[in-house]
Structure 1
């Protein structure tokens, strides 16, 4: 299934899903945001995370029903942010403009019977070590746009303006998929792999070190089984698993050390 994201149009009675994405967070969606709107939602997410850690599943579901997990964007904010986003794209990524313009036009056309937009992107936080890290990534992206620093943009991949630009059309948007801009983007679409930036996690490092120290015990057990029973399938499987655990834990430890060194170099 993957980590899915959705763009909705909503009013009090109805929701229309017009775009969605799987394992990506489309950059055009982020251009519809501003720091104030994002900041308000981040507060909601963090309060929900705290509530979830101290309450059972049923209580958490009731809490989430009263506190939306989606980012709400008013039509006025949408107009302003879309205009500013277009200026940024035109200056630094001009080839994206035809598709972006069609994307905005579709939202305007579809939104006539709706009063606001909503972005449901919380599942995408699964690519990060923590909610804080996810929120930092979103804030950094909006800051890069505001500061006019295209080299710091992480979510736009011009080789895939469907998965990382508009998202995939929904709600029967046949007219959108038939547009030249969409067809060109579809034709030129690559399938890049989203790379998460792993931060140093002291807890993960200590856990992997502790588990690594347990591996010799299984090595001894496998050796005793071999001495007692000779070469058997169970002994072979235990030995293979033991070697696999050694490799996995050492790999994780080295990855955490690498992340730690990178963070210290930056600081």
Structure 2
């Protein structure tokens, strides 16, 4: 099963998932944080890492502690607005989707919500110290507008998977307002991805055509062999 990360709206025991990352922490999410937001989670991740060999203690720890990154909505709003300029300057093609994503989150906020980030599965793909250092370095690079210092690439074209995360297709009931699936920005990104899929489909069609020709050739040779055998048999009979 793939290692996943989630961004969600949390209200008490209720969690409404917005999008998910697969084997990654999408980089839009990292624009919503500052160093202070990671201080407590990193300490908990390190404790969790130490307890991994003791299943009983680890289970008790996870029951007692929330190891996710949690942001007050107002702080999310401030960070999202403040760091938007980083994208404008360095990845202007991503701003449309970023704005739609931020709007989607804010449109679905309820009283008492906080914004949560469940990233532990991704953190545990490496040592906690290594991953946390990378995340803190990314935050600093964004703040100082130093894209060359980022641990992720801004040139990747798959903005849905690598920047925003894949939407939860069941979220329309829980997150009905300004659903990201219906946004112009999201649909535009899907269209950009489609030519690649079409090309792959074309390659597969070409492969099928070659396979069909090969199979036809085999059938032809078999028929030819039978005809030759029949002729030989008739000559012997004479």
SS of residue matched to 1:7: strand
RMSD: 1.9
Identify the residue that residue 204 of structure 2 maps to in structure 1: none
1:165 corresponds to which of 163, 166, 186? 163
Give the conservation status (yes or no) of the 8 Å contact 1:45–1:69. yes
Following the alignment from structure 2 to structure 1, what is the Cα–Cα distance between the partners of residues 41 and 74? 18
CA distance in 1, matches of 2:125, 2:161: 16
- What TM-score, normalized to structure 1? 0.65
The answer as to whether partners of 1:3 and 1:126 remain within 8 angstroms in 2 is no
Bigger Rg over Cα: 2
Alignment gaps of 5+ in structure 2: 198-238
Greater RCO between the two (CA within 8 Å, min separation 6)? Answer: 2
Q: Does 1:150 align with 2:147?
A: yes
Kindly report which structure 2 residues correspond to 1:1-267, keeping only aligned pairs within 5 A, or say none.
1-53=1-53, 56-128=54-126, 130-155=127-152, 156-170=154-168, 171-172=171-172, 175-189=179-193
Cα–Cα, structure 1 residues 131 and 84, in superposed 2: closer, same or farther, change >3 Å?
Answer: same
Whole-angstrom distance in 2 between the partners of 1:164 and 1:73: 21
**Uncovered stretches (5+) of structure 1, i.e. residues with no partner:** 192-267
Between the aligned partners of 2:145 and 2:35, the Cα distance in structure 1 is 15
Number of matched pairs = 188
CA distance in 2 between partners of 1:2 and 1:42 (Å): 22
**1:147-179 deviations in whole A, cap 9, x for unaligned?**
110122233454010011110111136831122
Q: Give how far 1:76 is off.
A: 2.0
In structure 2, the CA distance between the partners of 1:73 and 1:97, relative to structure 1 (3 Å rule), is same
C-alpha displacement of 1:68? 1.0
Residues in 2 aligned to 1:64 and 1:186: alpha-carbon distance in whole angstroms: 37
